[in-house]
Chains A and B, each alone.
Chain A
Amino acid sequence: MRVFLTALLLGALGLPLLALEPPSGLQAADTPNDEGNSLTISWDKSPQDQGDADRFKGYQILRSESQEGPFAEVGFAIGGKTEFRDNVEPLKPYYYRVVAISPEDSAGTAAVGPALATAQWFDSSRANVLILTVLICFLIIWYIERAKRGEELFIRKIQGLDAVDEAVGRSTELGKPIMFSFGLGEIKDIVTVAALAILRQVAVRCAQHGTELLVPNWDPLVMAAAQETVQQAYSEPGRPDLYKEGNVSFLTSDQFGYAAGVDGMMLRQKPGAVFFMGYFYAEALLMSETGHSIGAIQIAGTTAITQLPFFIASCDYTLIGEEMLAASCYLKKDPQMLGSLKGEDFVKAFLIVGFALAALWGTTGHLLFKAGHPWMQGVFQAVKNWFVTG
C-alpha cells in the first residue's frame, strides 16, 4: 500500500518512476564513404528518452584507446539522437561508451570496440556522378575521334557571328581601334577559354585589315594567355609586325577600378567596335553603357546569367550562355571543341526526351496512385532519388 501511494505521488509530481536506463544496442563502426577519419557511434534510445528536455538531457559520448579506459568525453548528443560521428585518426583502435544523462542521474553502457576508421576508395553515394561523368566523357571523346577522322559534324550557324566581321570592317573604315574585354573571368573559367578562341578570330581579322586591337585585362594570367593568342593570330595572315604587346595590357584586379579604366580607355581612344566576351559581374553595364554612348558597335557573350539582361539591353548582339562556347567552336572548327559540343548536344537531346517521358510517367503514376496503384509512382520516385543519393 505504501509503495503504491509513493508511486502515485511521484507520478502526480511528474517524476520518473524508474531508475535511468542506459541506451542499448551500442555500436561503433567505420563511417562509410569517407577518407578514413571518422567513426560512427550508434545506439537505441534509452527508455527514459521521451523527448522531454527537462527530464532527459542527452547522451555523453566517451572514448578510450583501450577497453579498460580511461574514457574521455568526445561529444554530446541531445535527447532523441541515436548517432554520433567522431573524428579520429585512421587505422587506430578506439573503444566507446555512451552515458545517458538526466538532471538527477546518469547511466552508461559497457565499452564496445575496437573500431578502426578506414578510407574507402569509392564513395558509393556519388555513383550517379561517376556514371554521368563516364557517359558524358565517353560521348565527348567519341565525337572528338569522329571529328579527328575528318567527319563533317554539323553545327548550326550562331546568330551574331557575322557581326564579328561587320564590326571589324566598320572599325577599319572609320580608322578606329577595336576593344576586347574578358571581364572578370579567370583563366580557369571555361568561358574565358572560349573567349580566347573568339579573340583569336577577331585578332586575325584585325591583322588582315591592319586595325589596332586593345585588350585591357583584369587577370594577369588571362593577360598572358591573351598576349599569346593575339601574337599567334597576327602571325597567321603574315602580319606579326603589327602586334603590339602593350595593347594587351593589365589594368587592375579591382572590379570597379577595372571598369573605370576600361571606360576611360573607351572615351579617349573611341573604339569603333567593342567585344565583351567572358565572365562579367556588376561592371558589365557600366562598360557597355559607355561603349553605347561613344557609338561603338558592341558584341557581348557571357555565361553570367545576371549580366546577360544588361548586355541584351545595351549591346548590338549578344551570345547567350552556351551560344558563346558554340560560337568559338563554329569559328575554330577544332576537332576537340567540336567533339565537346556534339557530346553535350547528345546529352541535351537525351535530357529533352527523358524529361518529356518522365513527365508523362510521373503524371500517369500520380493518377494511378490516387486510384490505388502505387507502383508507377514508386518507380518515378526511385529514379528521382537516384539523382540525389546515387
Chain B
Amino acid sequence: MMQIIGTWIAAGLTLAIFSFLYKDNPFYKFAEHLYVGVSAAYAILYVLYFDVKPLLVDKFISEQGGERWILLVPAAFGLMMLARWIPKVSWLSRWSIALTVGIAAGLGITGQIQGILLPQIRGTLVPLTTVNNVLMVVGVISTLIYFYFSAAHKGALRYGARLGMVFIMMAFGASFGYTVMARISLLIGRLHFLVYEWLRLVK
C-alpha cells in the first residue's frame, strides 16, 4: 500500500515539474518549494550525521591524547562561521573562509601541476608523423594562443587565436552532442517510471 502511495506521489510530483514546460503554475510552485525545502533539510541532516557527528563528536569522545584536542581547532573555525549572526563579531567568519580558500589554493597548485599540466605536456610531446599528431599539436598551440592575454589578437596571433577558437568549438560541439544524449537518457528514465511503474501501460 505504502509503495502504491509513494509511486502516486512521485508520479504527481514528476508531472508537476513537467508542467513547467507549459508555464509557471501552482503545481510547479508547490513541487519546487517542496523540493527545495526537503533537499535543504536533508542537506543539514546529512552534514550533521555524516560529518559533524562521526568526524567531530564521536571522534572527540573516542580519541585519546593530543589528537583529541586538535579536533577543537576545526570545531572553532566552524563556530566562527556562525559568528555571522552577531554583527559585532561577524568578521570572525572571514577567518574560516580565508583558511578554506588558502588550503584549497595551496593544495591545488601541486595537484593541478601533477594531475593536469604534466600529463598534458607529455601527451603533446609527439613527433608529427601522423595526421592525429599534427592535429593535436596544432590544436594545442593555437588554443594556447587564444588564451594568451598579454598581447592583443592582431597580426599572426589573430590567425592563431581564430584557429584555436575553431578547435575549441569543435570540441564543444562533440561535448554538446554527447551530453544531449545523456540528458535524453534521463528523460527516458522518467518516462519509463511513468509508463511502467505508475500507469503500468506496458508490462
| Residues of chain A whose beta carbon lies under 8 Å from any beta carbon of chain B | 126, 128-129, 132-133, 136-137, 153-156, 158, 187-190, 193, 220-221, 224-225, 227-228, 250-254, 256-258, 260-261, 263-264, 267-268, 282, 285, 305-306, 308-310, 312-313, 320-323, 326, 341-342, 345-346, 348-349, 351-352, 355-356, 358-360, 362-363, 365-366, 380, 383-384, 387-388
* Pairwise interchain contact B176-A309, C-beta atoms closer than 8 A: yes
Interface membership of B40, Cβ < 8 A:
yes
Kindly report which residue of chain B lies nearest to residue A383, judged by CB atoms.
B125
Over the window 117-131 of chain B, the binary record of Cβ atoms lying under 8 Å from chain A Cβ atoms (1 yes, 0 no) is 111011011111100
Q: Find out whether the CB atom of B24 lies under 8 angstroms from the CB atom of A387.
A: no
Residue of B nearest to A216 (CB): B36
Residues of chain A with a CB closer than 8 A to B144's CB: 348, 351-352, 355
**Chain A nearest CB, measured from B136 CB (Å):** 10
Q: In the complex, are the beta carbons of A128 and B39 less than 8 A apart?
A: no
Cross-chain contact A362 with B127 (CB below 8 angstroms): yes
Tally the A-B contacts, defined by beta carbons under 8 Å. Answer: 172
Q: Given A128-B118, A388-B118, are A155 and B36 also a contact pair (CB < 8 Å)? A: no
A126 to B121, CA, bound (A): 15
Interface size on B, residues (CB 8 A): 64
- 24 A-B residue pairings within 8 Å (CB atoms): A132-B117, A133-B110, A133-B113, A155-B150, A187-B101, A188-B101, A221-B81, A224-B81, A224-B97, A251-B40, A254-B36, A260-B32, A310-B176, A312-B172, A342-B150, A352-B144, A355-B140, A359-B126, A359-B127, A362-B128, A363-B129, A384-B125, A387-B121, A388-B122
Provide the residues of chain B in CB contact with A308, threshold 8 Å: 172, 175
Main secondary structure of the interface of A (DSSP, over half): helix
- Interchain nearest-CB distance for B173 vs A (Å): 7
Q: How far is the CB of A389 from chain B (nearest CB, A)?
A: 10
B166 contacts A by Cβ under 8 Å = no
Q: Is the CB of B24 within 8 A of A320?
A: no
Apart from the given pairs A224-B81, A352-B148, A358-B124, 4 other A-B contacts in the complex at a CB distance below 8 Å: A251-B36, A254-B42, A257-B38, A309-B173
CA distance A257 to B17 in the complex (A): 11
Cβ of A225: which chain B residues have Cβ within 8 Å of it?
Answer: 97
Choose from A154, A189, A309 the contact partner of B179 (Cβ within 8 Å).
A309
Given known contacts A225-B97, A362-B126, A156 and B32 CB-to-CB distance under 8 angstroms? no
